Structure 1
Amino acid sequence: MNTLPEYLYTPAQVQELDRRAIQDHGLPGLSLMERAGRRGWEVLLKHWPHVRRLRVLCGGGNNGGDGYVVARLARRAGLGVRLQALSDPDRLNGDAATVARRFQEEGGQIESWDPTGLADEDVVVDALLGTGLDRPVEGRYREALQALKAAGVPVLAIDVPSGLNAGTGAVMGEAVEAHCTVTFIGLKPGLLTGAGPQCAGTLYFDDLGVPPEIYQDMAPVAGLCRDELLRRCLGPRPAHAHKGQFGHALVIGGDLGMGGAARMAGEAAGRTGAGLVSVATRPAHVAALLAARPELMVHGLDSAEGLAPLLEKATAWALGPGLGQGPWGRALWEAALRTEHPCVLDADALNLLAADPRPCPNALLTPHPGEAARLLGVTPAEVQADRLAAADALVERYRGAVVLKGAGSVIAAPGALPRLVTAGNPGMASGGMGDVLTGVVLGLLAQGLSAVEAAELGALVHARAADRAARAGERGLLAGDVLMALRAEVNP
């Protein structure tokens, strides 16, 4: 089983960890490079056990040095290996120069970059650009990345797919989309959010046997949402349990023609374990919602006047699914925000908040990148360029917890270490998924979890349920399929 470590570090921090291992603990840098190359070779054999033709693309730094080690081991195993250097090998320094010389001493030939026959290789090893990349890829490196993408050949990336910003998950002009990536010493957040999951493929981690002491006093930049959270927060219920112990969740939304959004959020809250679930929606939707899910208590509201008694009874509430931004939705938004109950804001509630910003310390915001951009007054591209920074900015501006949705969802809250969710799949790119997440988080808040716990656990449960539902295929996955899978995930 490929287990990733819990904590994530910036590329600069990983460089410091590497320095500590070498200078403070006497671990030779050459040994680390040999170990990295060997681990890359082992991962390559794991994924492509019948490989015969291998091309290794090497850059000019230590990342390229790892590639020289992979190439040497592959030649020893009898593979047909072509190693192409995009930087002059005579200008290599230190350990990278040593492993390049070893490769040549064992009969290996170093070629210049040539895309000819690239598509005919069984596998290509990407050892071009390391974790320090912070500017757009240019020149022959960009040409090589474009050629590699066009060839459609399987790729193993060493440490980080070339062209991916290992700190942010942004593509720096052009990036490799690898089948798998093996990364070392410290797990980098850019591999797990933004474009990272698409570029990295299956991700492997190896600490290369560095002393655990090097991580002391190094504060991680983020952590992963772990499955242990499920067992800690969702233990067995007592035999004498009753519905009053598990909270009363209230969903507010469903303007004309959008009642389904409120219904899905309400059902998700119930499936997650809320004791009681009410829905405040347009009167026109009451009959349909009761027919579809009679366990919901559905209240028809023509105005915000009838909302107060519903809010008074609720343990936690959610505003936004199908709310709209018209007079009806705006009136409900204003009325709900006067209360101090724990709450979830999503969809049009976020758009209304963006138009009238205010601190919401009791709220848990669940924006997708477009909504986050409006909340911050930037573009979606700027949000995606550094998702951790965007989540932190949302917390700073609105004072509440945040689930920034997308590949590698980011959970952030005041005073808490940001967390990333590695579960989930592209099938979730369909209507209603956000409404289900809203209901999941609401159900957890109603059961007494803190905003941070509800955000982390809710995002994890939602993504795991989507993965369970996607076993039949990602294309065509509906939000209702995820609803049906929730129950198994909240009963670990």
Structure 2
Amino acid sequence: MQKLPHTLYRTDQVNELECIAINEYGFSSFNLMTKAGYEVFQWITKKWPKAQSVAVFCGSGNNAGDGYIVASLAQQAGKRVCVYALATAEKLTGVALVAYQNYVSANGKVVLFDALQPIDADVLVDALLSTGLNRPVTGRYAEAIEAINACPAPVIAVDIPSGLNSDTGHVHDYAVKADCTVTFVGLKQGLFSGQAAEYCGEVFYTSLLVPDAVFQKISPSAYRVVHVPIPRRNRCAHKGVYGHVLVIGGAQGFMGAARLAAEAALRAGAGLVSIATRPEHSSFISLTRPEIMCHGIANGVQLLPLLKKATVIVIGPGLGQSEWAKDLLLAAILAKKLMVVDADALNILANTTSGRHTLVLAPNTSVLTPHTGEAARLLVTTASVIQQDRFAAVRNIQRKYGGVVILKGAGTLIASEDDLAISTTGNPGMASGGMGDVLSGIIGALLAQGLPLKDAAQQGVFLHGLAADLAAEKEGERGLLASDLMPYLRKLVN
């Protein structure tokens, strides 16, 4: 697997990088296009060395020029090539037109795309639409995308799968489902979050030999999280050194949520872990995991002694939205300690900041962990609006509530006041109950061990997803349980 850069960019930033390379470093547009086409063709030969025929789908922009370069190289290599064009030569301009003319002058085959025409090729190349797309795909382009997706041959996308928004990772209606994507100059942030995981396949990257000095002129829009090992433990340490995590939650019927969060905190290295839960639950949790100190709490006043002892508060797993839950959340906020706010604690927070009365989190002390639905409630909007631009959503939640905000999902986003990160670990098997509770416990443990707010959030998300990936390796994704992560989590933090 290719090692990808950590820095990510928006489309306008990549365009600016290309302009700098051309205007200040002697690159030409055709030179960049030729290198791009060459890189795509190289990946075709690496991925499918026995392929004898190639079908290239070309639109009308520079992305089409890349496609014609690929077609020329495939033809020169002795492969049977056909370009399915969505635009006539009259609609091509600049370097894309030059690439088309070079291909045609070498007797390259071009046919206008017809949705009824069968496609027969060993590999399909998607060079329909470029990274600047910000509207739904319609008409013949939508038909071409449907034809590509219906074909059994593998698909390689040029720069980005057509129909996928390169800034948001959102698909309006139609997008190519590629087996792999070869992207150029700068990694586009939209390739790593939202619906991108379903459409990009494996992502390959090439800078097209643009020098490092060019990238130093543009600040990335985001970056990918990489694992940073937790410092080794002092040989003379004791349990008090590694913090005391207090998990608050476990309403009727949801005792397991608090239990999962607490065990995850222990497995991730917290020195002490307590649970504050409904009085009727306390003895049951202690039976199943005696290392967890479990307390039956009837109201916020009874919670105060536990809050004083806690280093970090994790509130929300199985909390519910009853008056009991609201009373405990208010007491936790007033304690002004490091806090992970999850699940129903987020829903209570959203409701109390949108009308009835206000709960204000202490500045720079909290990590919020919403999924899409909870994010929608925090911003008083809908889940579909959140999914259309997850990057904007996580930034808006962070501006509204402060601290660090984690927007869970494929390509989980972590926003702090000064930057935005994406974690690419994790898999669809994590779409099961209790996974979010485990994440909250992990983050609480990392905070308790002294990691800064942003680092604990980023590393917590990364480790959580990686533990799930390891757990799914042998037995598969379907049927993966939150508790299956525990042994892998323990290995990873060590």
Separation (CA, whole Å) in 2 of partners of 1:445 and 1:119: 55
1:289-328 equivalent positions in 2, closer than 5 A = 289-328=285-324
Separation (CA, whole Å) in 1 of partners of 2:492 and 2:242: 17
Q: Secondary structure at the match of 2:165?
A: coil
Give the aligned partner of residue 237 of structure 1.
233
Separation (CA, whole Å) in 2 of partners of 1:75 and 1:359: 64
Which of 473, 477, 480 pairs up with 1:477? 480
Separation (CA, whole Å) in 2 of partners of 1:161 and 1:417: 27
8 Å CA contact 1:245–1:275 kept in 2: the answer is yes
Separation (CA, whole Å) in 2 of partners of 1:426 and 1:323: 25
Deviation at 1:147, TM superposition (A): 2.2
Match for 1:20: what amino acid?
I
Deviation at 1:152, TM superposition (A): 4.3
Q: Secondary structure at the match of 1:337?
A: helix
Q: Secondary structure at the match of 1:82?
A: strand
Asked if 1:487 corresponds to 2:493, the answer is: no
Separation (CA, whole Å) in 2 of partners of 1:317 and 1:135: 43
Q: Secondary structure at the match of 1:130?
A: coil
Deviation at 1:174, TM superposition (A): 1.1
Deviation at 1:10, TM superposition (A): 0.8
Separation (CA, whole Å) in 1 of partners of 2:33 and 2:403: 44
1:272-291 equivalent positions in 2, closer than 5 A = 272-291=268-287
1:31-42 equivalent positions in 2, closer than 5 A = 31-42=31-42
Deviation at 1:102, TM superposition (A): 1.5
Separation (CA, whole Å) in 2 of partners of 1:283 and 1:257: 13
Identity among equivalent positions (%) equals 48
Match for 1:485: what amino acid?
Y
Which of 402, 405, 428 pairs up with 1:402? 405
8 Å CA contact 1:54–1:82 kept in 2: the answer is yes
8 Å CA contact 1:445–1:454 kept in 2: the answer is yes
Separation (CA, whole Å) in 2 of partners of 1:172 and 1:25: 37
Deviation at 1:327, TM superposition (A): 1.8
Asked if 1:150 corresponds to 2:150, the answer is: yes
Asked if 1:420 corresponds to 2:433, the answer is: no
Give the aligned partner of residue 61 of structure 1.
61
Match for 1:424: what amino acid?
G
Separation (CA, whole Å) in 2 of partners of 1:150 and 1:291: 54
Separation (CA, whole Å) in 2 of partners of 1:54 and 1:114: 17
Give the aligned partner of residue 466 of structure 1.
468
Separation (CA, whole Å) in 2 of partners of 1:339 and 1:379: 32
8 Å CA contact 2:129–2:162 kept in 1: the answer is yes
User: What do you get for the CA RMSD once the two structures are aligned?
Assistant: 1.3
8 Å CA contact 2:242–2:450 kept in 1: the answer is yes
Give the aligned partner of residue 141 of structure 1.
141
1:311-390 equivalent positions in 2, closer than 5 A = 311-357=307-353, 358-360=359-361, 361=363, 362-390=365-393
Separation (CA, whole Å) in 1 of partners of 2:492 and 2:388: 32
8 Å CA contact 2:115–2:143 kept in 1: the answer is no
Deviation at 1:365, TM superposition (A): 0.3
Q: Secondary structure at the match of 1:423?
A: coil
Which of 439, 443, 446 pairs up with 2:445? 443
Deviation at 1:484, TM superposition (A): 2.4
Match for 1:53: what amino acid?
S
Deviation readout 1:103-139 (Å, 9 max, x if unpaired): 1122211110024565643221100000011111121
Deviation at 1:247, TM superposition (A): 0.4
Q: Tell me whether 16-25 or 109-118 shows the greater mean CA deviation.
A: 109-118
Unaligned runs of 5+ in 1: none
Deviation at 1:328, TM superposition (A): 1.7
Give the aligned partner of residue 255 of structure 1.
251
Separation (CA, whole Å) in 1 of partners of 2:14 and 2:213: 14
8 Å CA contact 1:444–1:454 kept in 2: the answer is yes
Q: Tell me whether 82-91 or 364-373 shows the greater mean CA deviation.
A: 82-91
8 Å CA contact 1:316–1:442 kept in 2: the answer is yes
8 Å CA contact 1:67–1:125 kept in 2: the answer is yes
Unaligned runs of 5+ in 2: 354-358
Deviation at 1:489, TM superposition (A): 1.4
Deviation readout 1:321-373 (Å, 9 max, x if unpaired): 00001122121111111111000010000000000124422211000010000
Give the aligned partner of residue 457 of structure 1.
459
Separation (CA, whole Å) in 2 of partners of 1:199 and 1:444: 33
- What's the TM-score once normalised by structure 1's chain length? 0.96
1:74-89 equivalent positions in 2, closer than 5 A = 74-89=74-89
Separation (CA, whole Å) in 1 of partners of 2:237 and 2:69: 60
Q: Secondary structure at the match of 1:162?
A: coil
Q: Tell me whether 85-94 or 440-449 shows the greater mean CA deviation.
A: 85-94
Separation (CA, whole Å) in 2 of partners of 1:475 and 1:368: 20
Deviation at 1:486, TM superposition (A): 0.5
Q: Tell me whether 345-354 or 208-217 shows the greater mean CA deviation.
A: 208-217
8 Å CA contact 1:119–1:153 kept in 2: the answer is no
Deviation at 1:151, TM superposition (A): 3.0
Match for 2:392: what amino acid?
A
Separation (CA, whole Å) in 2 of partners of 1:50 and 1:427: 33
Q: Secondary structure at the match of 2:334?
A: coil
Deviation at 1:94, TM superposition (A): 1.7
- What's the TM-score once normalised by structure 2's chain length? 0.96
Separation (CA, whole Å) in 2 of partners of 1:319 and 1:59: 51
Separation (CA, whole Å) in 2 of partners of 1:483 and 1:452: 23
Deviation at 1:14, TM superposition (A): 0.5
Q: Secondary structure at the match of 2:111?
A: strand
Give the aligned partner of residue 26 of structure 1.
26
8 Å CA contact 2:333–2:360 kept in 1: the answer is no
Separation (CA, whole Å) in 2 of partners of 1:110 and 1:248: 68
Separation (CA, whole Å) in 1 of partners of 2:82 and 2:42: 18
Deviation at 1:297, TM superposition (A): 0.6
Give the aligned partner of residue 96 of structure 2.
96
Match for 1:106: what amino acid?
A
Separation (CA, whole Å) in 2 of partners of 1:285 and 1:79: 69
Aligned residues between the structures = 486
Match for 2:81: what amino acid?
V
